[in-house]
Amino acid sequence: MFFKDIIGQEEAKKRLISKAKEGRIPHAMLFCGNEGTGKLPLAIAYARYLSCECPNDEDACGVCPSCVKYNKLAHPDLHFVFPVIKKKSKDTVSDDYLSEWRELLATTPYFNLNIWLKEMGAENQQAQIYVKESDEILRKLSLKSSQGGYKIMIIWLPEKMNTECSNKLLKLLEEPPQQTLFFLVSEEPDALLTTILSRAQRFNIHHINEKDIVNALTTRYGLQENDAADIAHRSEGNFLKALESIHLNEEKQLFFDLFVSLMRLSYQRKVREMKQWSETLAGMGRERQKHFLTFSQRLIRENFMYNFHQPELTYLSVEEKNFSSRFAPFINERNVIGIMNELSEAQRHIEQNVNAKMVFFDFALKMIVLLVQK
């Protein structure tokens, strides 16, 4: 991963290179930003740049021994930590899934936790960074740099660390080994310990410019400019969402059908069918249930905005627009906050392992009341 491979983020690249040239590299950096903005590939590209033996003004050279090792993400001084699921009868650490991790990064560096869970074959489980990982981090960083440069530890989604692991990492951040850099790549920095936040320099990654997404879709994926522009607008600066729009999968269609079905059943007060609907959702894995609730929050928000008749403010596909032209009047200032609150509460309950049938049936019944507040 080079800087040139990253979609947009030109200002962020310049700032990072400037830090390196001026010798102002903090021992701990917190790369913060929303999903699909390129935080992880940016951190990897920066690690390559700092390890490169002959970097230029814009990127790593690509030909030195260090860059050759980075091509396969196999540099001995580059280490990764990421959420994993427990394997039976052993303490699980990131290295147990390192081959799958490298394969996914080689395929696409733009992915989220759901995609990573699929890569591990664990869609129905919740991934964590376990306490054993802190011992592995300490062991790796206690070794001397094999190439004489920086030892770089990239921690993807540090908010997934359990408390004990976070506390042990804090001690390392307070007294890091010599020539050691920590790159924490987070989507929820507020979920980290405040003591960790205070010891890492925050580096915010903003949404990707629409023009940069259009350029990537036309040059890398062969889309026509009009199609690319439509997808880029709906992606809201999230390149992962743009990729999902290209490869519109059955799951997204299923979520849309389930959402439409619930709204119709709730309006018609068909309680028996609503119970069957909730049982269908309950039969899915927990991660898919959370994904559906996130999808539903987006559609509620977009239907509320649709009522303002400002096309540039809405991000709907053609099929979603057709549905919204009839449904949007039912989402207004009297019920939109209530619906969003109920979806958020359902999401919290699913994360807390509350019975999914009860959660979804309860939400469906509440929609009967909320939809009549026109």
**Mean pLDDT within 345-372:** 94
DSSP 240: H
pLDDT recorded at residue 301: 94
Residue-wise pLDDT for 113-154, tens only, equals 988 998 888 766 788 899 899 889 988 888 887 777 899 999
pLDDT recorded at residue 82: 94
CB 152 within 8 A of CB 51: yes
**Token reading at 65:** 């021994």
Q: Which residues pair with 153 in a beta bridge?
A: 79, 182
Instruction: Lowest mean pLDDT of 89-98, 102-111, 326-335, 342-351, name the range.
Output: 89-98
**Mean pLDDT within 27-34:** 93
Most confident by average pLDDT, 124-133, 281-290, 309-318 = 281-290
Between 141 and 258, the higher pLDDT residue:
258
In the predicted structure, residue 260 carries a pLDDT above the cut 70: yes
Residue-wise pLDDT for 269-279, tens only, equals 999 999 999 99
**Mean pLDDT within 67-71:** 91
Please report which confidence band the pLDDT of residue 201 belongs to, taking 50, 70 and 90 as the band edges.
Answer: very high
**Token reading at 79:** 């280490």
pLDDT recorded at residue 186: 94
In the predicted structure, residue 168 carries a pLDDT above the cut 90: no
In the predicted structure, residue 162 carries a pLDDT above the cut 90: no
**Mean pLDDT within 334-360:** 94
Domain 3-206, second-level architecture: 3-Layer(aba) Sandwich (3.40)
Between 164 and 347, the higher pLDDT residue:
347
In the predicted structure, residue 374 carries a pLDDT above the cut 60: no
Domain 250-371 has CATH 1.20.272: yes
Please report which confidence band the pLDDT of residue 373 belongs to, taking 50, 70 and 90 as the band edges.
Answer: low
Residues whose CB is less than 8 angstroms from the CB of residue 322 and which lie 6 or more positions away in sequence, other chains included: none
| Percentage, residues of the chain above pLDDT 70 | 97
pLDDT recorded at residue 89: 60
CB 122: neighbour CB atoms within 10 A?
17
> Taking the alpha carbons of 147, 183, 109, 97 in that order, is the dihedral positive or negative?
positive
CA 347 to chain centre: 17
In the predicted structure, residue 193 carries a pLDDT above the cut 80: yes
Q: Which of 201, 36, 14 is nearest to 112 (CA)?
A: 36
Average pLDDT value for the chain: 90
pLDDT recorded at residue 250: 61
What are the residue boundaries of the structural domains of the chain, listed by start? 3-206, 208-247, 250-371
C-alpha Rg value of the chain to the nearest Å: 23
In the predicted structure, residue 247 carries a pLDDT above the cut 80: no
pLDDT recorded at residue 165: 86
Angle between helices 286-306 and 336-351 (to 10 degrees): 170
- Give the span between the Cα atoms of 350 and 54, in whole angstroms: 50
